[in-house]
Structure 1
Amino acid sequence: MFIHPLSDVHSKNIGLRTKIWQFSVILEKAKIGSNCNICSHTFIENDVIIGDNVTIKCGVYIWDGIIIEDNVFIGPNATFTNDKNPRSKKYPEKFLKTIIKKGTSIGANATILPGLIIGEYCMIGAGSVVTKDLPAYSIALGNPAKITGKIDNNHD
């Protein structure tokens, strides 16, 4: 495991061969698998589970309630939300769960709204705004994101 000295990592639940780069903040209860790459300027809250072989590029914030399965790629500045009705100083008792299934790729600056399930091996285009669940192998683009195609089963 590599933790850059300019990061702020409180979690002890980080797998082997994971790299965490500068200016990243990882809270105490976050769980991160093995062989992940957490790039700079990333924030990961407590109620977060990240699988193995995950890449999270720069400027991504992973909020409470987000589950990211194995082999997921999250492009720079992708945005996750976890509250459908946010208000200052008013917090839900429990945040909505958002699940990113294994093998999915999320393009740069895409936004994922709360409480969604993104199926296995989906491809979400850069700048897309995902407002609904996506079935496995979907290619989704636009605002709001619409399914424009399917990934074949070889997962490439």
Structure 2
Amino acid sequence: MRAQGLLPDVFVHPQGLCESTDVGAGTRVWAFAHVLEGARVGTDCNVCDGAYVEGGAVLGDRVTVKNQVMVFAGVTVADDVFLGPGVTFTNDFTPRAHVRKGPGELDPTWVEEGATLGARVTVVCGVTIGANAFVGAGAVVTRDVSPHGFVVGNPARQIGWACRCGRRLDDSLVCSCGRAYTLDADGLHESVVVPCT
């Protein structure tokens, strides 16, 4: 079902449900996915089968939302983020069934540009996942992840750095794609820009 007033070049599968009209051109909503009224979805996003995007959630442009991803109110996802199958966000540190909370009482979460969250990642609310970070499959994120941080485990811990292309950097901070990085007190910085092949 398509919300009345949705842009004509937004694709909604006949078994998908898109109740929001705040969806960018070229976005695709596949079977059994549900985008609620009040959700904001950017251009050229891919919302795969069984995904759920709640009102109050924000997805940037070119975001991939794989099957069974749950994005709740208070979660903001920047451009070019990959959310792997089964990624789940939370938005309340102290949930109780009998306590109803409004949007201002939820704990916000941010995923910055270019980050990747692998399959079955769980993100505990109130954290920021930095730009180009890589969260390995099955990780449970309980605290902020540095830009370009490569984290795994439960709770997620940093074990290295990720290139903008997605590959894990070696100890020399040089990627096989040709990019090189330097590390200082302010974090990881790209020092040589070479297009990935």
Category of TM-score, reference length = shorter chain? over 0.9
Provide the residue aligned with 2:73 in structure 1: 64
The correspondence for 2:106, drawn from 95, 109, 123, is: 95
Distance (whole Å) between structure 1 residues aligned to residue 70 and residue 21 of structure 2: 19
Which residue identity lines up with residue 138 of structure 2 in the other structure?
A: G
Distance (whole Å) between structure 1 residues aligned to residue 134 and residue 112 of structure 2: 11
Distance (whole Å) between structure 1 residues aligned to residue 12 and residue 58 of structure 2: 18
Distance (whole Å) between structure 1 residues aligned to residue 81 and residue 62 of structure 2: 7
Provide the residue aligned with 1:86 in structure 2: 95
2:84 aligned with 1:75: yes
Distance (whole Å) between structure 1 residues aligned to residue 43 and residue 98 of structure 2: 35
Q: Deviations over 1:77-135 (max 9, x none)?
A: 11111111111131333211100000000000011000110000000000000100011
2:146 aligned with 1:135: yes
State the TM-score, normalizing by the size of structure 1. Answer: 0.96
Provide the residue aligned with 2:49 in structure 1: 40
Which residue identity lines up with residue 120 of structure 2 in the other structure?
A: N
Distance (whole Å) between structure 1 residues aligned to residue 26 and residue 98 of structure 2: 38
Which residue identity lines up with residue 57 of structure 1 in the other structure?
A: K
CA contact (8 A) 1:138 1:151 kept: yes
* Count of equivalent residues: 155
Provide the residue aligned with 2:181 in structure 1: none
Which residue identity lines up with residue 148 of structure 1 in the other structure?
A: I
The correspondence for 1:20, drawn from 15, 24, 29, is: 29
Which residue identity lines up with residue 128 of structure 1 in the other structure?
A: A
Give unmatched runs, 5+ long, in structure 1: none
The correspondence for 1:111, drawn from 111, 122, 126, is: 122
Give unmatched runs, 5+ long, in structure 2: 1-9, 167-197
Provide the residue aligned with 1:8 in structure 2: 17
Structure 1 ranges of 4+ moved more than 6 A: none
- SS of aligned partner of 1:13: coil
Q: CA RMSD in A?
A: 1.0
Identity %: 35
Q: Deviations over 1:18-60 (max 9, x none)?
A: 1000111111111100010000101111111100010000001
Point out the structure with max Rg over C-alpha: 2
The correspondence for 2:161, drawn from 147, 150, 153, is: 150
Provide the residue aligned with 1:55 in structure 2: 64
Distance (whole Å) between structure 2 residues aligned to residue 74 and residue 140 of structure 1: 15
The answer to which structure, 1 or 2, has the higher relative contact order (CA under 8 A, 6+ apart) is 1
Distance (whole Å) between structure 2 residues aligned to residue 128 and residue 87 of structure 1: 25
Provide the residue aligned with 2:137 in structure 1: 126
